[in-house]
């Protein structure tokens, strides 16, 4: 990890000291961690390595004044781990690249590491290395390394016409959480489930692994940008279309008076991002093997894969409309 | 790769289209590249995976107005590949995270990809995935994945008292190159060797692999921040000290009149960064097996590893002085 001044060495030491307590048995695959030119990872025989990286930038992906540091720590890892879940894999280790202002190397960093450490232990994904530097804004980049039995990863490209489209959980909840957080900063400390889902998303690791083990899904991805942005990506990779029934998309009951103008929660469910639920296709013959819930999380059929390349939504009137991506990026317009 | 709008999808397409032509046979270990939730890498049996990541940030690591875009592309990969060289490994693939201003998605990005592609082919390190986003400044983070036969990587921690310290090439050259570039922007297009070394560093991959194969080095690292910053890291990892003979450090002949005030090029050699040469320790019994040059690059003994934890420099008068790290970061004070 080159180019570090004394201060950057000290940030690195703080991170490394914290990370030692996160390892447990999960760290056995990392044979050399922080402190050398690079980390060494011992791959499991017969497995492929999953590689994914994600930006988590102040002003683009989180707001310094709104997002608690421990949520920044949790979420920067959870988002990247969700990509491993989406292939049915098991996370093993991660690299953390951080640029931080001097003012954030004390308490902010401690709290950040607290959230990151909880995520690291929860996902059994150990810190193997990284790079730190000084900067006026907070930039984070996380690379997660995972594993999956060779040849068994579920890709975006395997959906076939006639497959049934499923989503896990409820959609739009994380976006509602963000809207609440923007209105009331103190919501960050609340137990409001939508705010918690926005701040501390839970990648569907066990579900993804179970789907792979039981060979139930023909294609899969995680919903990070919202159904209307992500479904077209799955369909493009599989060279198919889809017909989604709007009424079937699992959505919220909006009770908060501040959002009574959101007459139709289906807009949140169609376009809201950051849910990190799984979107997957199941061949019709396998549908009977799929339970209604997996470990308490609902699995809902929302439509099907079609031969034509069109992406359609069946609305209440019985008409169909084009699904128009309204890729959810809450910060793009505001900042 | 979550959170991308249409425009970001189009940057990604441009990168992916370019990357297809970089693959060659080197890409065989990447079984799934850009376009899914994550990449899949098939590890070679009996090998460990090397993982390293590096920031390359505008204003910290390069200057938009001084550094040609193709050099930014080459160097962001070369720096991270150098960490793989420092362990004696072979690079296999990389992940590219980029944040770019709208204004830089045209010609700048084309030239950047041209330099990155040359590096990718040269180092046989294929693009496997990444993440892109829009931002006012240019931020790059590169994760390189490499391989080395299990148990044979050369770490920083293996140096023993009595081992002889070696460096490859000449030190301080890249810093001189940067100083020239700062004075004269047009130097970027010149054939000046110091400027070329700053802009297009060559990680010592073959040398690192050869040292591992012949079991010659007890400890090794790459010189990215300068000898006075990096040697203490190797010594700390090995729990040893070192005595360096200043007169033996391979350095430049400074002929450029603009730098006649640099009476002593040894300051550049001690503290200059970005050389990406190898620093390694060789047990005395192995020294006779080490050639004077490797593929035209000099290997120079500059001192030895000592039992005490002190870091000393033997100067011309015969006195010794403490080696004081003057970690070279050319931008820290300027920007």
In tens, the pLDDT along A166-178 reads 999 999 999 999 9
Which tokens go with A24? 């447990």
pLDDT of residue A191: 85
Name B83's Cβ contacts closer than 8 Å, sequence gap at least 6: A1, A2, A37, A38, B50, B52, B54, B144, B222
Closest partner residue to A57 among B128, B135, B225, by Cβ?
Answer: B135
Name the average pLDDT for chain A.
90
Which tokens go with A104? 């954030």
Range with the poorest average pLDDT among A69-83, A121-135, B245-259, B277-291: B245-259
The SS3 of residue A273 is coil
Mean pLDDT, range A83-96, rounded to an integer: 97
Q: Tell me which of A29, A53, A277 to substitute to probe the interface with B (most B C-beta atoms closer than 10 Å).
A: A53
What ipTM did this prediction achieve?
Answer: 0.92
Q: How far apart are CA B53 and CA B145, in angstroms?
A: 9
Query: A222: which DSSP letter?
Result: E
Which tokens go with B16? 């992916």
Cα A280 to Cα A86, A170, A300, B210: the distances in Å are: 9, 14, 10, 47
Who has greater pLDDT, B2 or B186?
B186
Q: Is pLDDT at A334 greater than 50 in this prediction? A: no
- CB proximity A16 to B under 8 Å: no
CA atoms within 13 A on the CB side of B150: 14
pLDDT of residue B250: 95
Mean pLDDT, range A114-126, rounded to an integer: 96
User: In sequence order, what are the beta bridge partners of B321?
Assistant: B313
pLDDT of residue B34: 86
Mean pLDDT, range B70-85, rounded to an integer: 98
Please indicate whether, in this complex, the C-beta atoms of A39 and B61 are within 8 angstroms of each other.
no
The residue assigned the tokens 């919501």 is: A187
Q: How far apart are CA A323 and CA A315, in angstroms?
A: 11
pLDDT of residue B4: 41
The phi and psi torsions of B139 (rounded to 5 degrees) equal: -120, 135
The SS3 of residue B57 is strand
Q: Is pLDDT at A118 greater than 50 in this prediction? A: yes
Q: How far apart are CA A234 and CA B273, in angstroms?
A: 45
Provide Rg for chain A, Cα atoms: 20
Which tokens go with B112? 């950047």
Percent of chain B whose pLDDT exceeds 70: 91
pLDDT bucket at B7, cuts 50 / 70 / 90: low
CB A40, CB B50: distance < 8 Å:
yes
pLDDT bucket at B10, cuts 50 / 70 / 90: confident
- CB proximity B327 to A under 8 Å: yes
A254-309 residue pLDDT tens: 766 666 666 567 888 999 999 999 999 999 999 999 999 999 999 999 999 999 99
Beta-carbon count within 10 A of B281 CB: 28
pLDDT of residue B257: 61
pLDDT of residue A256: 65
The SS3 of residue B3 is coil
Closest partner residue to B237 among A36, A38, A43, by Cβ?
Answer: A36
CB A140, CB A130: distance < 8 Å:
no
Q: How far apart are CA B7 and CA B2, in angstroms?
A: 13
pLDDT of residue B187: 78
Cα B177 to Cα A248, B111, B174, B260, B265: the distances in Å are: 63, 21, 5, 15, 13
B219-242 residue pLDDT tens: 999 999 999 999 999 999 999 999
Q: Is pLDDT at A242 greater than 70 in this prediction? A: yes
A10-67 residue pLDDT tens: 777 888 888 888 877 667 888 888 888 999 999 999 999 999 999 999 998 999 999 9
Which residues of chain A from 224 to 283 reach within 8 Å of chain B, CB to CB?
224-225, 237, 273
Query: pTM higher than 0.90, yes or no?
Result: yes
The residue assigned the tokens 């010189």 is: B223
pLDDT of residue A327: 59
Q: How far apart are CA A90 and CA B49, in angstroms?
A: 16
Mean pLDDT, range B124-131, rounded to an integer: 93
Q: How far apart are CA B321 and CA A70, in angstroms?
A: 45
pLDDT of residue B263: 54
| Alpha helical stretches, state H, chain A | 6-20, 69-85, 107-122, 173-183, 193-199, 205-213, 227-238, 265-271
pLDDT of residue B304: 98
pLDDT bucket at B264, cuts 50 / 70 / 90: low
pLDDT bucket at B300, cuts 50 / 70 / 90: very high
Closest partner residue to B52 among A38, A87, A221, by Cβ?
Answer: A38
Please indicate whether, in this complex, the C-beta atoms of B57 and A150 are within 8 angstroms of each other.
no
Which tokens go with B181? 């570039």
Q: Which residues of A touch B6 (CB under 8 A)?
A: 325, 327
pLDDT of residue B9: 67
- CB proximity B318 to A under 8 Å: no
User: How close A329 comes to chain B (CA, Å)?
Assistant: 7
Range with the poorest average pLDDT among A320-324, B37-41, B195-199, B255-259: B255-259
Q: Is pLDDT at B292 greater than 80 in this prediction? A: yes
The phi and psi torsions of B97 (rounded to 5 degrees) equal: -105, 125
Q: Is pLDDT at A4 greater than 60 in this prediction? A: no
Name B178's Cβ contacts closer than 8 Å, sequence gap at least 6: B198, B274, B330
The H or E element that residue B234 is part of is helix B227-238
Which tokens go with B287? 């020294």
Q: How far apart are CA B280 and CA B299, in angstroms?
A: 10
Answer positive or negative: Cα dihedral of B2, B6, B8, B10. positive
Q: Is pLDDT at B94 greater than 70 in this prediction? A: yes
Q: Which residues of B touch A221 (CB under 8 A)?
A: 36-37
pLDDT bucket at A8, cuts 50 / 70 / 90: low
Which residues of chain A from 288 to 317 reach within 8 Å of chain B, CB to CB?
none
pLDDT of residue A305: 98
């Amino acid at each position: 990890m080159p180019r570090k001044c004394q201060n950057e060495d000290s940030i690195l030491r703080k991170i490394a000291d914290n990370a030692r307590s996160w390892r447990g048995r999960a760290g056995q695959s990392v044979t050399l961690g922080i402190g050398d030119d690079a980390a060494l990872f011992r791959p499991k025989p017969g497995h492929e390595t999953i590689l994914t990286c994600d930006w988590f930038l102040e002003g683009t992906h989180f707001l310094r004044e709104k997002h608690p540091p421990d949520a920044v720590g949790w979420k920067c890892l959870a988002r990247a781990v969700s990509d491993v879940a989406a292939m049915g894999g098991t996370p093993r280790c991660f690299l953390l690249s951080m640029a931080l202002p001097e003012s954030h190397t004390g308490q902010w960093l401690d709290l950040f590491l607290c959230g990151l450490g909880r995520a690291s232990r929860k996902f059994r994904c150990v810190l193997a290395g990284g790079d730190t530097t000084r900067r006026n804004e907070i930039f984070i980049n996380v690379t997660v390394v995972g594993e999956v039995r060779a040849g068994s990863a579920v890709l975006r490209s395997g959906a076939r016409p006639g497959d049934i489209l499923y989503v896990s959980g409820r959609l739009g909840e994380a976006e509602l959480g963000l809207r609440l957080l923007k209105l009331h900063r103190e919501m960050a400390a609340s137990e409001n489930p939508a705010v918690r889902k926005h701040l501390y998303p839970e990648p569907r690791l066990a579900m993804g692994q179970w789907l792979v083990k039981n060979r139930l899904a023909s294609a899969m991805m995680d919903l990070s940008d919202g159904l209307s942005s992500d479904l077209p990506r799955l369909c493009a990779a599989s060279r198919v279309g889809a017909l989604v029934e709007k009424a079937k998309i699992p959505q919220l009951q909006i009770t908060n008076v501040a959002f009574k103008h959101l007459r139709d929660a289906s807009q949140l469910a169609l376009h809201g991002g950051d849910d990190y639920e799984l979107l997957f296709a199941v061949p019709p013959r396998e549908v009977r093997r799929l339970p209604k819930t997996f470990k308490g999380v609902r699995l809902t059929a929302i439509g099907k894969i079609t031969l034509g390349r069109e992406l359609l939504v069946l609305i209440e009137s019985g008409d169909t409309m084009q699904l128009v991506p309204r890729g959810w990026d809450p910060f793009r317009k505001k900042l």
